[in-house]
Amino acid sequence: MSAPLKRALGVCYYPEHWPEDMWAKDAARMVSAGITWVRIGEFAWSRMEPEPGRFTFDWLDRAIDVLASAGLKIVLGTPTCTPPRWMLDRFPDMLAVDALGRTRNFGSRRHYCFSHAGYRKASAAIADVLGRRYGQDPHIHAWQLDNEYGCHDTVLSYSEAARLAFQDWLATRYGTIDALNTAWGNVFWSMEYESFAQVDLPNLTVTEPNPSHALAFRRFSSDQVVAYHMAQVDALRAHTDAPLIHNYMGRVLDFDHFEVGRSIEIASWDSYPIGFLSDRLEATPAHKSRYLQQGDPDMQAFHHDLYRAVGKNGRWWVMEQQPGPVNWAPHNPAPLPGMVRLWTWEAFAHGAEVVSYFRWRQAPFAQEQMHSGLLRPDDAAAPGLAEAEAVATEISAMPEVSVQQAQVALIFDYPSEWAWATLPQGAGFTYFGLMLDAYRALRKRGLSVDILPSTTSDLSGYRLVLVPGLATLPDSLRHALGQTTALVGPRSNCVTEELTIPTPMGPGLPGLDVTVTRVESLSPGAHRTVPGIGVMQHWVETLEGSAQVTLQDADGAALVVSSGALSYLGGWPDAALWDHLIADAAARCGIETRQMPEGLRCRETKTHRFYFNYGDAPCEFDGLTLPAAGVAWVAI
Amino acid sequence: MSAPLKRALGVCYYPEHWPEDMWAKDAARMVSAGITWVRIGEFAWSRMEPEPGRFTFDWLDRAIDVLASAGLKIVLGTPTCTPPRWMLDRFPDMLAVDALGRTRNFGSRRHYCFSHAGYRKASAAIADVLGRRYGQDPHIHAWQLDNEYGCHDTVLSYSEAARLAFQDWLATRYGTIDALNTAWGNVFWSMEYESFAQVDLPNLTVTEPNPSHALAFRRFSSDQVVAYHMAQVDALRAHTDAPLIHNYMGRVLDFDHFEVGRSIEIASWDSYPIGFLSDRLEATPAHKSRYLQQGDPDMQAFHHDLYRAVGKNGRWWVMEQQPGPVNWAPHNPAPLPGMVRLWTWEAFAHGAEVVSYFRWRQAPFAQEQMHSGLLRPDDAAAPGLAEAEAVATEISAMPEVSVQQAQVALIFDYPSEWAWATLPQGAGFTYFGLMLDAYRALRKRGLSVDILPSTTSDLSGYRLVLVPGLATLPDSLRHALGQTTALVGPRSNCVTEELTIPTPMGPGLPGLDVTVTRVESLSPGAHRTVPGIGVMQHWVETLEGSAQVTLQDADGAALVVSSGALSYLGGWPDAALWDHLIADAAARCGIETRQMPEGLRCRETKTHRFYFNYGDAPCEFDGLTLPAAGVAWVAI
Amino acid sequence: MSAPLKRALGVCYYPEHWPEDMWAKDAARMVSAGITWVRIGEFAWSRMEPEPGRFTFDWLDRAIDVLASAGLKIVLGTPTCTPPRWMLDRFPDMLAVDALGRTRNFGSRRHYCFSHAGYRKASAAIADVLGRRYGQDPHIHAWQLDNEYGCHDTVLSYSEAARLAFQDWLATRYGTIDALNTAWGNVFWSMEYESFAQVDLPNLTVTEPNPSHALAFRRFSSDQVVAYHMAQVDALRAHTDAPLIHNYMGRVLDFDHFEVGRSIEIASWDSYPIGFLSDRLEATPAHKSRYLQQGDPDMQAFHHDLYRAVGKNGRWWVMEQQPGPVNWAPHNPAPLPGMVRLWTWEAFAHGAEVVSYFRWRQAPFAQEQMHSGLLRPDDAAAPGLAEAEAVATEISAMPEVSVQQAQVALIFDYPSEWAWATLPQGAGFTYFGLMLDAYRALRKRGLSVDILPSTTSDLSGYRLVLVPGLATLPDSLRHALGQTTALVGPRSNCVTEELTIPTPMGPGLPGLDVTVTRVESLSPGAHRTVPGIGVMQHWVETLEGSAQVTLQDADGAALVVSSGALSYLGGWPDAALWDHLIADAAARCGIETRQMPEGLRCRETKTHRFYFNYGDAPCEFDGLTLPAAGVAWVAI
């Protein structure tokens, strides 16, 4: 990795879906479009091993040969997210079970429980077989392990395998059942256990289970994903030095991506801006309507910055980039002309090495037959292809992956997502929503942002750090906060890792005498007003202590308290109040900000400032005029 | 059938619900009200056969005698939609299972799985017993087989019986498992099977099943209804020459009514205008409020025209006509005074032979105790009775069933409903909704309409044919389109019968060079505008090819393309745009149209033009003044 | 009970949740705050009997000693709503099953089926053990049996135990299966049974079950609660003379509280005004927003009056009073300053002996860790404590429980709730909603109200009685109606106890010739207008007969008919029409009324008139100025 990393385009390709005589033409056309990388194999288990133990790799050998001969670099995927039907004959109990107790059957994909030891071993075995065969193949430039862990809500499984594994996990974590009873407060409602074997999974209880029980199950479930993943990592590491990748799905938060990311070289994710806007984002109808054909202006950037943090040394890709209408959202409009280019450039501006389109040619069959590709099912070019080609030309003039550390950081923590999903206290309170609001507020002030894990212990490079909603603040991060200007809260460091309330109560910040003595969740439409500035909505806290009140509501109640560079925020601000807070904090730490026009965003690399117009009308800024869906950049 | 068919009224009667000494008075009162037909028996299995093999027909004999003696013609129903409790002792596995895996228990009605061989045989047996006893009875003028197949979502059953029968059905359809794998594209996500025995029903999969799998299951399920039905047809045919009827329920679309209709003489259906408006119709609150006590102005007419197509030689009835408030809709207001007469006359105007009210007297017990009858539970007249009597007088002056072929036809196809229910691509996209919008647009231009199946091969009698949403266009219909002016689309002929995308891509119309290269589903509120005319909503397609663009949106995108008399429509028009399209197409083919006032509809028979005012205020048109809920007719 | 009862404060305390060295300080602090009563023990089974048969009461002995030594009176609870985990080893089938067939597992509370004989016996056994040990303990001044029967929808259980018990119950009720078939009208849809063993529970049927079947199951289920309860009553009565209490939960209506109340001395209930507003009340968003931090102005008073009727000799408590934000509603804002005092005083004004706060100190763990107490988890005072202390001072100046019979009564009947839940006929029709609307209308006219059961046979002390929605009118009540001015209806006395329609049809009122010949349920937004006064919404009836029409709609349809002092109301009035009806009826029977300002309510005791301002702004009335959340009283 001494040579500087280069920007490149890729594409997802399924040779097994097409007659072999199309492959060479496809490969040539990819190359001619400026595509460098091609991902294959991740759904093809039934073609690699049509019967248990009978391997048929000849077609794959030929596909690799054809693609590599055309000059393409190959990412080879392990096909473990799609076990063939015969696997169920070996492991009839390998299927996951949903929270309502229903087995999740064969007939689509991801039909396995992460806790099933037999299937885990079988997954490692196919990875081993592939590693042995292709681990030293010079055409295989990277490996993808499984695909989209957790997609379709597959992390939390209530199977018998999960129940037994959970009991083992608890025994390891707590040592004795008394320790567990104490940690969870099981004396409440006489929920005390006499042995680990009595602890069931926390589903189908009469009313909600103990939050500590539920959070433990979530921690366990994440750990099971990591353990499942490691079995494949170990299998492949024995055979190859090529980088390992896992391909994450947007807003899948049920396992700890940082933990999975530890063992691989590259983090990749799947960017479907229009699908996400329709399906995975809380927003007003007006917002959803405004960005119907563009996607939310911050959702992709947030994930880009997140996966830059997940990837080792900041290496990350977009493995699947939406190239046109998709099939899976409630509504599936087409991108505005220009958006495919915009999305691609935005990823590069955030440091992506590769942006890979999903998929080369739209499949004429099965679940995703209405999912666009760069080509239509009849092999004609779809509109996305020309935009990809334009980017290919453009990156050849600006080839280097260029990242510089941002001035601002945002701490992101998966266990906090689980904690507040377990104990929202107010309908609609989500950690992700709070994080995205904070991130959006930074972006609307024109700032580039680094996302950091809660294990971060050095913030010295940052001028401003935001820590909203971090359930439990690690000591290392607490110490690091002293190195910078920091805005912590709301709902930060208010519970222990067991999801109980500590004494003294939070947030327990160094040098800041404030205690959150009461919290309130507010119904839609209710809020506390900061006259002339904005409101707190959803969530508001009562702050007590001697710290200086630096923001208060109309009744004089403290909303922000500060001591030096450290502030605590006691509520969930609306956009206007967020903007005030960010502008103010930035000013205090010497960061220049501007209010960006609606829909316009910018991002700085080492060498350029990029502008992205998510609006459907032209936009003027910094002396530039960007058309609808336009991208611009200036050297800095 | 040489004598012309006569219009008549009927009523549904349950002698088993009432003391025997009331029967004669009831019969006399029916006759005095002008009622000719009485349907009995269809829920009375526990009284016909209280224990397995012990038949008790004496009461039925006497009921038939009393009714016939009064001069009534009897429709006798087979009671197979209500198997007695003891049937479950014979066949504990006869119950249907819902998509979530829950057995659908005894305690109401329709508690059987169409695929259960034992119950199918038992159903044929009771039909045989009835046929033997009453097949030659001169008082039994028609037979009804079962009742409302598919009501309460009973077509799709996920039982073990269904699973095994589905595997047999697949083996017959595909021959080899490889053929099935290829037809469905099971290579996608490694869903390939090695044997038919591996194919499960498409429920409870991790994410959605292969659409080809789902559609096959729907085709199979419809075939099971037909096979179940044929067992009773065969049993009765051996004993009687009286016409056979099945009684369909409105907007039950899960089986192919044309297929069931093939084997019987008369199609009947159940018309509950106010219940349907509340429960089975997508419409704005304003529309639902406007027609709260009248029902939708087009819903009944649509079904009338549909069942005229389903019935052999166009013979059809309304077997159950709402006579007052019902019990089963979310809200159950009373009809405006006059509506019972209006609904009845509307059926006659569309060619009904018989309109039969449900029911004679409101039951004072059980599930439908709040469902009005022509009489109240205390035997007094309910408001509907006088309106029925008025119609009886009126039809005696206009007795002949009179139908003339319409100038306009609309193609209706059950598998298309299943295809788009399987693959909606946009939330809320339903085939039925699209069809009703098209039908409504024709009616709002004053047109009478024939509904035709997709197996139609001769359109020469029609000036204008509409083919929206027809998933796969049969060759015979494609050829027939050349005989007339036709407007095809949106979403027509874009998939194969296996629900895959063909190459070349659709719509593949003769002489019309157009390809739908992309589709978009739009969220509520989003649309593409045709300035000054209307908008496309829900659904819009990208049309490419050399065909002449005859309608385009504000950005110049083609929305309708034409070649001679054949046009393709690339979107789902709103009411205003539909009106423009219909008016324009009608003008081109020489059909005169007028915009009807809100709520007014008309329909022509051979001899008369009928007017129906669904409004709650008087309406003037064609020199006539119709009161609220009024009916008028003029000779033509 | 010769000494007059005194007002007192209490608190719920869980010594098992806290280190023993905190107990004495807690007790002293309670006393110092003016608290007299402390409830303990009701969730502590796992600490009383950690293994089957091994009792560990030493800690409880010490806790009682500490609390009593400080001067507190103790309510000791039987812990049967929280059976320990080992109980499931004894009775694996003791769990309830929900209507969808899912077992409701261990892991929270109330995990038992009321019909399980083994668990019922085990519950009596622990009550017996407690009674033996503490029945003569002078510190135990009252006993609570179980806690919140029915909370978390636990009355209706579809377990095997319930199925078998239901069949026995049916055999007892009906004697023969033919009698059951006749009573339910099972001839409808051939639902006739040949034996009681064939009758399943009325869940998971294909479409809705017979309403008579469903209502019988609800009656049975209520009887099972009573029988379960009696087992504990009998066990404790053998050992103690202290009053027995059950603690009911607000708007839990699935069992007959009057029946449970028969065997105990004191009824108590749990008053969570803000939680109820958010979670258990149908109201407009504007109403919910207006009272977000106060709770509905009539919900608590309604329950106060209800439990005064449930309690023997009118003895009742609030066992759990909300002291701050709770954890279980969709949104959980804090009470406005003053509301804790207001709620407490409102209970006293309605005749409560004790108002007991839930809970002393917020638990830092488990399900209710976000539920406020009088103290914070860190032992500091929460805002509610000072308000409780203020009340303590105030009641010491006005110590006597003071109740006088109201002039107005409202009949409340649990089986009517079940009847209309079974057969709503219109979405959203609930008996409770209708009752609360009637009650609210009375309160908005400044009236104090007594709630009475439908078994009442003497109304001579009342000037005005309202009987809305009473499904079946007992003869004794019918006779009593002649003693007063009465407004009966809508939907009153229209069905038999078996939920069938009687002949002659209802309401069958003495001397009032009116028959409800038709009912209509109206969708939201639809109504029938009384010009200048108000509208009927949701529900409207057609009234026929010779009775004088005293209110009619714009079309002249009768809405109220009267004969002398007896009137029948044929619809569900909106607030304006209710107000007109109440004002008019009150005037006719000589009750003076005034329209209260929005949010202000009053209530009279023997000695005082109390005023409660639920508004968030000051309010002037009767020469008084009440601040937001203010309470005032004047001697009368």
Contact residues for A78 (Cβ-Cβ < 8 A; gap 6+): A41, A42, A123, A126, A127, A130, A143, A144, A145, A146, A232, A236
Listed range (A412-416, B31-35, C398-402, C575-579) with the worst mean pLDDT: C398-402
Q: Is the pLDDT of residue B218 over 80?
A: yes
Cα separation of A145 and B356, whole Å?
66
pLDDT band at B364 (very low <50, low <70, confident <90, very high): very high
> pLDDT of A199-251, one tens digit each?
999 999 999 999 999 999 999 999 999 999 999 999 999 999 999 999 999 99
Mean pLDDT computed over A324-347:
97
Looking at the complex, report in whole angstroms how far the Cα of residue A535 sits from the nearest Cα belonging to chain C. Answer: 16
pLDDT of residue B4: 82
Mean pLDDT computed over A134-151:
98
Structural contact between residues A71 and A31, judged by C-beta atoms closer than 8 angstroms? yes
Mean pLDDT computed over C254-283:
97
Q: Is the pLDDT of residue C125 over 90?
A: yes
pLDDT of residue C2: 56
pTM of the model: 0.97
Mean pLDDT computed over A593-598:
96
> pLDDT of A256-278, one tens digit each?
999 999 999 999 999 999 999 98
Whether the bond between C132 and the residue before it is cis, its omega within 30 degrees of 0, is no
pLDDT of residue C4: 81
| Residue C284 in tokens | 């407009």
Nearest residue in A to B182, CA atom: A365
Cα separation of C47 and C57, whole Å?
8
Cα separation of C11 and C321, whole Å?
9
Q: Quote the mean pLDDT of chain C.
A: 97
Looking at the complex, report in whole angstroms how far the Cα of residue B423 sits from the nearest Cα belonging to chain A. Answer: 9
> Is C147 annotated as contributing to ligand binding?
yes
Give me the half-sphere count of Cα atoms (radius 13 Å) on the Cβ side of residue C506.
Answer: 29
Cα separation of B448 and B603, whole Å?
5
What's chain C's Rg over C-alpha atoms? 25
> pLDDT of C276-320, one tens digit each?
999 999 999 999 999 999 999 999 999 999 999 999 999 999 999
The number of beta carbons lying within 10 Å of the beta carbon of residue C71 is 12
Cα separation of B75 and B140, whole Å?
6
> pLDDT of B164-183, one tens digit each?
999 999 999 999 999 999 99
Nearest residue in A to C16, CA atom: A187
CA distances from C367 to A56, A187, C80, C335, C394 (A): 54, 11, 18, 21, 34
Burial class (CB in 10 A: 0-12, 13-18, 19+), B328: middle
CA distances from A152 to A106, A149, C572 (A): 13, 9, 46
| Sheet containing B608-613, strands listed edge to edge, beginning at the edge strand earlier in sequence | B600-604, B608-613, B631-635
Taking CB atoms and an 8 Å cutoff, what residues of chain C touch B369?
185, 211, 423, 500-501
Enumerate the active-site residues of B.
Answer: 148, 320
Tokens 């202590």, located at residue: A545
Range C105-143 burial, b when 16+ CB lie within 10 A, else e: bbbbbbbbbbbbeebbebbbbbbbbbbebbbeeeebbbb
Q: Does C193 touch chain B (CB under 8 A)?
A: yes
Q: Does B196 touch chain C (CB under 8 A)?
A: no
The helix (run of H) or strand (run of E) holding residue B391 is helix B383-397
Looking at the complex, report in whole angstroms how far the Cα of residue B377 sits from the nearest Cα belonging to chain C. Answer: 7
Cα angle B51, B53, B58 (rounded to 5 degrees) comes to 80
Query: 309-348 in B: which are within 8 Å (CB) of A?
Result: none
The distance in angstroms from the start CA to the end CA of chain A is 26
Nearest to C331 among A503, A515, A521 (CB): A521
Nearest to B520 among A104, A332, A366 (CB): A332
Tokens 């950049």, located at residue: A633
Cα separation of B531 and B553, whole Å?
7
Range B179-215 burial, b when 16+ CB lie within 10 A, else e: ebbebbbbbbbbbbbbebebbbbbbbbbbbbbbbbbb
Q: Which of C441, C474, C477, C472 is nearest to C459 (CA)?
A: C477
| Residue B29 in tokens | 């009162």
Mean pLDDT computed over A157-174:
98
pLDDT of residue A395: 97
Q: Quote the mean pLDDT of chain A.
A: 97
DSSP state of B150: T
Q: Does A425 touch chain C (CB under 8 A)?
A: yes
Query: Are the beta carbons of C377 and A503 separated by less than 8 Å?
Result: yes
Q: Is the pLDDT of residue B393 over 50?
A: yes
Q: Is the pLDDT of residue C409 over 60?
A: yes
> pLDDT of B264-287, one tens digit each?
999 999 999 999 998 999 999 999
pLDDT of residue A1: 44
Cα separation of B629 and B302, whole Å?
19
> pLDDT of C46-91, one tens digit each?
999 999 999 999 999 999 999 999 999 999 999 999 999 999 999 9
pLDDT band at A4 (very low <50, low <70, confident <90, very high): confident
pLDDT of residue B1: 44
pLDDT of residue B576: 98
| Residue C568 in tokens | 């029948």
Nearest residue in C to A212, CA atom: C366
pLDDT of residue A2: 56
pLDDT band at C1 (very low <50, low <70, confident <90, very high): very low
Structural contact between residues B40 and B17, judged by C-beta atoms closer than 8 angstroms? no
Nearest to C110 among A186, A206, A425 (CB): A206
- In single-letter form, the type of residue at position A50 comes to P
Query: Are the beta carbons of C188 and B364 separated by less than 8 Å?
Result: no
Cα separation of B541 and B530, whole Å?
14
Cα separation of B634 and B604, whole Å?
10
CA distances from B100 to A98, B96, B104, B203 (A): 12, 12, 11, 7
Range B104-136 burial, b when 16+ CB lie within 10 A, else e: bbbbbbbbbbbbbeebbebbbbbbbbbbebbbe
Q: Is the pLDDT of residue B619 over 70?
A: yes
Q: If DSSP states are collapsed to H, E and C, what string results for B570-586? A: CEEECHHHHHHHHHHHH
Interchain CB contacts (distance < 8 Å): A and C: 173
Query: 148-187 in B: which are within 8 Å (CB) of C?
Result: 151-152, 154
Q: Where are the alpha helices (DSSP H) in C293-397?
A: 299-310, 339-349, 383-397
Tokens 């107005």, located at residue: C408
Structural contact between residues A369 and B212, judged by C-beta atoms closer than 8 angstroms? no
Structural contact between residues C208 and C179, judged by C-beta atoms closer than 8 angstroms? no
DSSP state of B6: B
Enumerate the active-site residues of A.
Answer: 148, 320
Mean pLDDT computed over A82-108:
98
Structural contact between residues A491 and A469, judged by C-beta atoms closer than 8 angstroms? yes
Domains and CATH numbers, chain C: 8-163+210-397 (3.20.20.80), 408-588 (3.40.50.880), 600-635 (no CATH)
Query: Are the beta carbons of A427 and C331 separated by less than 8 Å?
Result: yes
Cα separation of B236 and B123, whole Å?
11
| Residue A549 in tokens | 């009140």
Q: Is the pLDDT of residue A414 over 60?
A: yes
Residues in a beta bridge with A543: A516
Query: Are the beta carbons of A203 and C16 separated by less than 8 Å?
Result: no
Structural contact between residues A472 and A415, judged by C-beta atoms closer than 8 angstroms? yes
SS3 B168: helix
Q: Is the pLDDT of residue A9 over 60?
A: yes
Q: How far is CA A197 from the centre of its chain?
A: 34
Looking at the complex, report in whole angstroms how far the Cα of residue A14 sits from the nearest Cα belonging to chain B. Answer: 9
Q: Is the pLDDT of residue C234 over 50?
A: yes
Q: Per the annotation, where are the binding residues of A for substrate?
A: 109, 147, 328
Nearest residue in B to A52, CA atom: B194
Cα separation of A523 and A536, whole Å?
12
The angle that helices B160-174 and B177-184 make with each other, rounded to 10 degrees, is 90
Give me the half-sphere count of Cα atoms (radius 13 Å) on the Cβ side of residue B445.
Answer: 25
